[in-house]
């Protein structure tokens, strides 16, 4: 049985991280209560109080005003609301605004709405290049805007890449866009709890947050939207959230979300130090053990918990299978369709060839990670890579 296999080493915190005990407690305390936060009676007021206190907690932790926090069902919905909401609102004010500037390493929750706007709404998608470390250059953003500022709808660049962990100069990008009065969205899903994130200081107009990536529950997140930023509603109904997002508010999940944000932000400085130490051990150990291994992404400007490594001459999914059989849980990095790993668009955008892109693994650390996890990886990685290399690339798909 799967459940009886050892499950000691979980190194896929960027996919989802275990809920913090305090968040579980806050959420479960609410689950037994009745009350729709939009109801006017006592039960409704109690639920509303939970929601509003949570909103205040999240706003305070992220450097935003409470009224700027729009709860959603998670990161994907927040990204969709940001992109489509900004698109329609900006276009309504000026029909020339048809250019969307975004990096090629955005998460699919950003890429796909942008491409959809291109296919269905006449948006003109302009890809901001990234260098071989996965960094967007502010100069490229300036150049792209300056050639015709009046036709830019908005700019979206993530805070930190979910695959290779590279941090992006979002503050600089926001400052450049602000010179032209152009709104900026950033997907901060991977960054919060890992690096300091202050919405007001960043100067962006909208920022995506997801609960389950920082120790909160699944199915809840937020789009932090500047008070003066106009968004067109995407999901229509009761208009619960600032009239741009409808749907009954999930008070228990929001309560757990708030506690998770508070704790992860509070613990961030210490955790960042601790995780950086463990991560560097992992990276250096793997590089010392496996000749063909290379680190992907920025060696310095990266998420403390991210180690993304490519291994020559083997398939990432062979590595994953072999590590999984040894109870070590990692990721090949990218989203899947029917469970099929496509070569990562992030790595391809960074100029990797197909083979190197397919032979990569992402190890991501989080609050439950410990020295034992790193030791387990370093003990197993040598034989695992050797075996995966013997299975090679030739048997699989694109490499024949």
Partner 1 sequence: MRVLAAMSGGVDSAVAAARMAEAGHDVTGVHLALSRNPQSYRTGARGCCTIEDSRDARRAADVIGIPFYVWDLAERFHADVVEDFVNEYAAGRTPNPCLRCNEKVKFSAVLERALALGFDAVVTGHYARIVDTATGRELHRAVDPAKDQSYVLGVLTQEQLAHAFFPLGDTPKTEIREEAARRGLSVADKPDSHDICFIADGNTPAFLSAQLGEAPGDIVDAQGNKLGEHKGTHGFTVGQRKGLRIGTPAADGKPRFVLDISPVERTVTVGSREELAVTGLTASKPRWCGPAPTAELQATAQLRAHGDEVAVTARLEDDQVHVTFTEPATAVAPGQAVVLYDGTRVIGSATIDSVARVTPQHA
> Taking CB under 8 A as the rule, does residue 339 contact partner 1?
yes
- At residue 310, φ and ψ (nearest 5 deg) are -110, 145
Smallest separation, CB 352 to partner 1 (Å): 18
Residue 390 as a binder of partner 1 (CB under 8 A): the answer is yes
Unique residue bearing structure tokens 């034992």: 372
**Which of the ranges 140-148, 151-159, 164-172, 314-322 carries the binding residues for partner 1, by CB under 8 A?**
314-322
Residue placing its CB nearer to partner 1 in the complex, 33 or 387: 387
Note whether 395 binds partner 1 by CB under 8 A.
Answer: yes
Quick one: tokens of 141? 């953003």
Catalytic residue among 238, 336, 397, 399: 336
By the rule CB under 8 A, 398 interacts with partner 1: yes
388 touching partner 1, by CB under 8 A: yes
Q: Which stretch binds partner 1 (CB under 8 A): 97-105, 140-148, 317-325, 345-353?
A: 317-325
Of 3 and 34, nearer to partner 1 (C-beta) is 3
Alpha helices in the chain (DSSP H): 21-31, 42-62, 75-93, 108-120, 138-146, 170-179, 199-202, 251-289, 316-325, 345-349, 354-358, 371-391
Is 381 one of the binding residues for partner 1 (CB under 8 A)? no
**Computed from CA positions of residues 318, 283, 331, 12, in that sequence, does the dihedral angle turn out positive or negative?**
positive
Residue 8 interacts with partner 1 (CB under 8 A)? no
Q: Segment near partner 1 (CB under 8 A), from 48-56, 61-69, 294-302, 385-393? A: 385-393
CB of 399 to partner 1, least distance (A): 8
Nearer to partner 1, 1 or 40 (CB): 1
Q: How far is the CB of 77 from partner 1 (least distance, A)?
A: 22
Selected binder of partner 1 within 324, 329, 375, 379 (CB under 8 A): 324
Please report whether residue 397 would count as binding partner 1 according to CB under 8 A.
yes
338 binds partner 1 (CB under 8 A): yes
Query: CA-CA distance, 293 to 33, in Å (whole number)?
Result: 52
How many residues of this chain interact with partner 1, rule: CB under 8 A?
27
Residue 387 sits in the site that holds partner 1 (CB under 8 A) = yes
On whether the CB atoms of residues 70 and 245 are closer than 8 A, the answer is: yes
* Residues 6+ positions from 352 with CB-CB distance below 8 Å: 296, 310
**Shortest distance in whole angstroms from residue 121 CB to partner 1:** 24
Q: Which stretch binds partner 1 (CB under 8 A): 185-193, 210-218, 260-268, 331-339?
A: 331-339
Minimum distance from residue 342 beta carbon to partner 1 (Å): 8
* HEC readout, 140-198: HHHHHHHCCHHHEEEEECCCECCCCCEECCHHHHHHHHHHCCCCEEEECCCCECCECCC
**Does the footprint of partner 1 cover residue 341 (CB under 8 A)?**
yes
314 is catalytic: no
For residues 12 and 134, what is the distance between their CA atoms, to the nearest angstrom? 20
* Cα–Cα nearest to 192, from 58, 68, 309, 24: 58
CA 366 – CA 274 distance, rounded (Å): 10
Q: Give dist(CA 323, CA 209) in Å, integer.
A: 30
Minimum distance of partner 1 from residue 315's CB (angstroms): 9
CA distances from 100 to 93, 149, 332 (A): 16, 11, 29
Residues labelled catalytic: 336
In the complex, the residues that contact partner 1 under the rule CB under 8 A are 1-3, 5, 317-318, 320-322, 324-325, 336-341, 387-388, 390-392, 395-398, 400
């Amino acid at each position: 049985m799967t459940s009886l296999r050892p499950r000691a080493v979980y190194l896929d915190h960027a996919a989802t991280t275990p809920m913090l005990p305090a968040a579980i407690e806050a959420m479960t305390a609410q689950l037994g209560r009745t009350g729709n936060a939009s109801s006017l009676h006592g039960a409704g007021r109690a639920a509303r109080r939970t929601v509003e206190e949570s909103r205040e907690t999240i706003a305070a932790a992220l450097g935003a005003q409470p009224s700027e926090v729009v709860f959603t069902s998670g990161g994907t919905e927040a990204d969709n609301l940001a992109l489509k909401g900004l698109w329609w609102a900006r276009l309504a004010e000026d029909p020339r605004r048809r250019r969307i500037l975004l990096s090629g390493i955005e998460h699919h929750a950003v890429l796909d709405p942008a491409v959809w706007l291109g296919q269905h709404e006449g948006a003109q998608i302009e890809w901001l290049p990234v260098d071989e470390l996965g960094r967007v250059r502010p100069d490229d953003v300036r150049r792209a805007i300056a050639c015709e500022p009046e036709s830019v709808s908005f700019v979206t660049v993530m805070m930190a890449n979910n695959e290779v962990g590279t941090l992006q100069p979002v503050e600089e990008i926001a400052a450049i866009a602000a010179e032209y009065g152009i709104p900026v969205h950033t997907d901060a899903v991977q960054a919060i709890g890992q690096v300091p994130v202050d919405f007001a200081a960043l100067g962006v107009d909208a920022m995506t947050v997801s609960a389950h990536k920082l120790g909160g529950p699944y199915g809840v997140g937020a789009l932090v939207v500047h008070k003066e930023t106009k968004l067109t509603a995407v999901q229509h109904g009761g208009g619960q959230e600032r009239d741009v997002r409808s749907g009954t508010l999930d008070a228990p999940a929001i309560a757990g979300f708030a506690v998770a944000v508070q704790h992860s932000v509070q613990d961030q400085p210490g955790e960042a130090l601790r995780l950086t130490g463990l991560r560097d051990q992992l990276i250096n150990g793997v590089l010392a053990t496996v000749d063909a291994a290379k680190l992907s992404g920025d060696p310095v400007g990266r998420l403390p918990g991210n180690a993304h490594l490519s291994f020559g001459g083997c398939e990432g999914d062979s590595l994953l299978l072999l590590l999984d059989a040894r109870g070590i849980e990692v990721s090949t990095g990218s989203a899947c369709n029917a469970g099929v790993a496509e070569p990562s668009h992030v790595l391809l955008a960074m100029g990797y060839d197909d083979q190197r892109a397919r032979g990569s693994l992402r190890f991501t650390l989080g609050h439950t990670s410990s020295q034992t996890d790193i030791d387990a990886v370093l003990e197993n990685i040598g034989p695992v890579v050797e075996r995966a290399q013997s299975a090679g690339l030739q048997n699989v798909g694109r490499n024949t």
